[in-house]
Amino acid sequence: MKEYELIVVGSGAGMNVVAKARDKGLKVALVENWVMGGTCLNRGCIPSKILTYPAEMIRQIKHAKEIGINAKIESVDFDLVRKRMWELVLRDRRGMEEGVAADTGLDFYHTTARFIAPYTLQVGPEQIKAPKIVLAIGVRTYIPDIPGLRETGFETSESIFDIQVLPKSLIILGGGYKACEFGHFFSAFGTNISIIGHNPRLLPREEEEVSDLVLAKMTEFANVKLNQEVISIRKGEKGKVVVIRDRTTGDVKELEADEILLTTGVQSNSDSIEPEASGIRTDAARYIAVDDHLETNMPGIFAIGDVIGRTMFRHTANYHAQLVWINAFAKNKVKLDEHAVPHAVFGYPEVASVGLTQSAAKAQGIKVLVGLSQYIDCAKGYAMGEQDSFAKVVVDMASYRIIGASAVGTNASIMVQAMVYLMNAGDQTYIPIARSQTIHPALSEVFVNAFGNLHDPDHVHVHEHEQQ
Ligand SMILES: Cc1cc2nc3c(=O)[nH]c(=O)nc-3n(C[C@H](O)[C@H](O)[C@H](O)COP(=O)(O)OP(=O)(O)OC[C@H]3O[C@@H](n4cnc5c(N)ncnc54)[C@H](O)[C@@H]3O)c2cc1C
């Protein structure tokens, strides 16, 4: 049995903890059963954004006509896009592999880790033990039990980046961010796209106005069907057939396409590590249960990232890694703070948000002020011809604390990030915006205007003539 000061399982955000521990000279074991770098690098954020950026350029070129440029796209080069994507992914992966191989204080086990006793893991033929263990083992695509799905075959986010040729048509099952991002990319590159969502809304966790605008825009380049049940899937004459039923009307329809992409949800990877053998508790969906310090019920064993089943983003996993490093080795522990978790959807239009939506705040009984502003109402937004894009803010009525912010349109992710910083600064109010000069004319003015438009949504002033 080999003993370490720290064992980390999973080389995604887990690598952040490994790096800190090695900086301090701890004796560390890293276990990874797949390629180095985890989902973000190999099958997630990074390759998907190398796809969505050229797609955004295509949309911009098409939109340019509205502001006085008549441009034509001669052709698109998917081979080059693929090449650029794999160049970066493989370069970063290789860099990590070399770093790990060169580090003599770090033992790397390229295999599946499985608990056999408290604080003890089986790794291939060997057994390893440590008083501190960090589980950063992520999630994988959940394969729903749809009759005919497995027999017919399908792609997932784990397999789609390997395709060599663009499908002529693609049915995307799911209505979340992956459906929007892949739908954006494939449709921009000429694939005929259908998006089949179960929820009545696209991006159901966003503000309703945001979902509505994304739906309206996506409908311009994809056949979007929401509130649908997938009844069965089979091989058709030309491709793959998906049979759907409208959950309201009961209407049954068949769609056929070259390929199906499943984006309907994820499941925890905790099954592979057999946490029960170490006495580690999981929740009903098998996500690893942790306390406010990201510690499991077994002292010294922590879990971070997607496998705790909360907000599944790489920046969240990075934040968890930072916290766990402190909580595992420093004197004073730090509590998890989830009040300002941001995210973006790099579809078309781009969406970003942080904190609570208006309806989520209402459900928590918080009295709020809301403010909304269109891009077009500031000079830069007008110059860009961003007709429908907007930002929305949700502010606590009593304290003026910002409790939520969203934007939908160009650079939404950059604009919302400013709100994230404010939500983590001082008294977390929007007052610093009122005190600041805002570069003019820039898109930052959209959020300034949104705060300027704050009002009580439950007391909308109705003019006399509107009441008649
Ligand atoms: C298509 C797509 C696009 C995305 N885009 C974004 C984005 O734009 N922005 C964003 O923030 N997030 C995005 N995400 C989500 C992001 O990738 C994840 O939140 C993040 O990678 C999670 O990191 P992690 O360290 O928790 O898990 P992972 O990175 O998944 O790492 C877990 C690792 O553990 C390994 N493992 C599992 N079990 C064992 C075991 N028993 N023994 C050994 N090894 C094991 C796995 O093989 C894996 O390599 C995207 C995800 C996908 C799929």
* Residues 27-52: tens digit of each pLDDT: 999 999 999 999 999 999 999 999 99
355-392 burial, b if ≥16 CB within 10 A, otherwise e? Answer: bbbbeebeeeebebbbbbbbbbebebbeebebeebbbb
- How remote is the C-alpha of 201 from its chain's centroid? 17
Using the atom order of ligand 1, give the atom closest to the CA of residue 109: 43
Closest CA to 10 of 96, 87, 73, 117: 96
Q: Residue 459 has what pLDDT? A: 85
Query: Residue 412 in contact with residue 349, Cβ under 8 Å?
Result: yes
pLDDT-derived band of residue 468, with 50, 70 and 90 as boundaries? very low
pLDDT at 134 > cutoff 60: yes
Nearest-atom index, ligand 1, CA of 320: 26
Cα(236) to centroid of ligand 1, in Å?
A: 34
* pLDDT(303) > 80: yes
For 48, 104, 206, 392, 416, the CA distances from 353, given in Å and listed in that order, are 19, 43, 8, 9, 6
Q: Left, alpha or beta for 309 (phi > 0: left; psi -120 to 50: alpha)?
A: left
If you measure from the C-alpha of residue 12 to the centroid of ligand 1, how many angstroms do you get, rounded to a whole number? 6
Which tens digits make up the pLDDT trace of 161-191? 999 999 999 999 999 999 999 999 999 999 9
* Confidence bin at 462 (pLDDT 50/70/90): low
pLDDT in tens, 355-382: 999 999 999 999 999 999 999 999 999 9
The total of other beta-carbon atoms located within 10 Å of residue 285's CB is 10
Cβ–ligand 1 distance for 140 under 6 Å, the answer: no
Mean model confidence pLDDT for the chain: 97
CB 7 within 8 A of CB 29: yes
Ligand 1 centroid to residue 41 C-alpha, Å: 8
Give the three-class secondary structure for 264: coil
The answer, yes or no, to whether any atom of ligand 1 lies below 6 A from the CB of 320, is no
Alpha-carbon dihedral sign for residues 39, 40, 44, 47 = negative
Centre of ligand 1 to C-alpha 6, Å, is: 21
The answer to whether the Cα torsion of 450, 453, 458, 464 is positive or negative is negative
Q: Answer yes or no: are the C-beta atoms of 28 and 18 closer than 8 Å.
A: yes
| pLDDT above 70 for 325 | yes
Which residues have C-beta within 8 Å of that of residue 311, sequence separation ≥ 6?
Answer: 338, 341, 343
- Is residue 184 within 6 Å of ligand 1 at its C-beta? no
pTM: 0.97
Specify whether the CB–CB gap between 15 and 142 falls below 8 A: no
Ligand 1: distance of its center to the CA of 103 in Å?
A: 24
Q: Compute, in angstroms, the gap from residue 211 CA to the centroid of ligand 1.
A: 26
Atom of ligand 1 minimally distant from the CA of 14:
25
14 alpha carbon – ligand 1 mean position (Å): 10
**Residue 315 Cβ < 6 Å to ligand 1:** yes
Query: Atom 19 in ligand 1: which residue has the minimum CA distance?
Result: 313
Query: How far, in Å, from the CA of 21 to the mean position of ligand 1?
Result: 21
Q: Is the CB of 223 under 6 A from ligand 1?
A: no
For the Cβ of 135 lying below 6 angstroms from any atom of ligand 1, the answer is: no
Whether 45 lines ligand 1, by a CB cut-off of 6 Å, is yes
C-alpha 227, offset from chain centre: 22
Alpha carbon of 341 to ligand 1 centroid (Å):
17
Protein residue with its CA nearest to atom 7 in ligand 1 = 45
For a ligand 1 pocket test, name from 8, 137, 181, 318 the mutation site with the most ligand atoms within 8 angstroms of its C-beta.
137
Q: What average pLDDT does range 340-368 have in this prediction?
A: 98
The pLDDT tens digits for 91-109 are 999 999 999 999 999 999 9
Flag whether pLDDT at 466 surpasses 80. no
Distance 356 CA to ligand 1 centre (A): 24
